[in-house]
Amino acid sequence: MSKTAPTDELFLHFEKYIPLSNTLKKELADRIVFKSFKKGEIIHDANTICTKSYFIQNGLMRTYFIKDGKEITEYFSAENEWVNSPRSFMQQQLDIYYIDTLEPTDCFCLNVKDLVFLFDNFPEMERYARLSMGTVFGHYMDRITSMRFTTAKEKYNHFCETYSAIYHRVPLGMVSSYLGIAQETLSRIRAEK
């Protein structure tokens, strides 16, 4: 059995959107760092500017903010997804988001300065960003619609559908926070299934 390079998995992700020349593969490989985090590690603190984006190879992360001392979950990220604090990462300013790991997580890390270099020198990387962000934007629009126009049960069903690969890996309290419904209500809804 042949062993593939760790970056091969990441290259396959990029190739879903753009062709990767050998030159671009080399530049990516030179700039990407592999990192492992333990469960419960905070990988981005709201009191710092987000300078790194993480592509999850395996594991689970959560993006959240704190309001009145309570953690409010914004979204979850798992295998084959990028995660960062978007506004802070793109505008290089503070914002409200924290990111932590819900499981031991292995990921590829790309610094914002390296991403800017790739955008400046490889136009196909901008195409990649535009196409991949379209998927993220669609997800956010679905979430906004679900949050505004559906019942608690419909919100939960939408969550299970959207996060079908991971919903069973997320603690109940974080799911209720994400959905904006009381944990007791969520327990009742789950019991009905």
What digits encode the pLDDT tens for the residues 163-181?
889 989 999 999 999 999 9
Cα dist from 75 to 60, 83, 93, 136, 174, whole Å:
11, 10, 20, 11, 10
Proportion of the chain above pLDDT 90, given as a percent = 74
Share the mean pLDDT of the chain.
Answer: 90
Judged against a pLDDT cut of 90, whether residue 134 lies above it is answered with no
**pLDDT per residue over 20-63, tens digit each?**
999 999 999 999 999 999 999 999 999 999 999 999 999 999 99
Instruction: For residue 131, give both structure tokens.
Output: 């196409």
Judged against a pLDDT cut of 90, whether residue 131 lies above it is answered with no
Confidence of residue 3 (pLDDT cuts 50, 70, 90): very low
For residue 132, what pLDDT is reported? 85
DSSP string, 145-180: HHHHHS-HHHHHHHHHHHTTTTGGGS-HHHHHHHHT
For residue 133, what pLDDT is reported? 80
pTM: 0.89
For residue 31, what pLDDT is reported? 95
For residue 144, what pLDDT is reported? 83
Q: Which fold has domain 7-122?
A: Jelly Rolls (2.60.120)
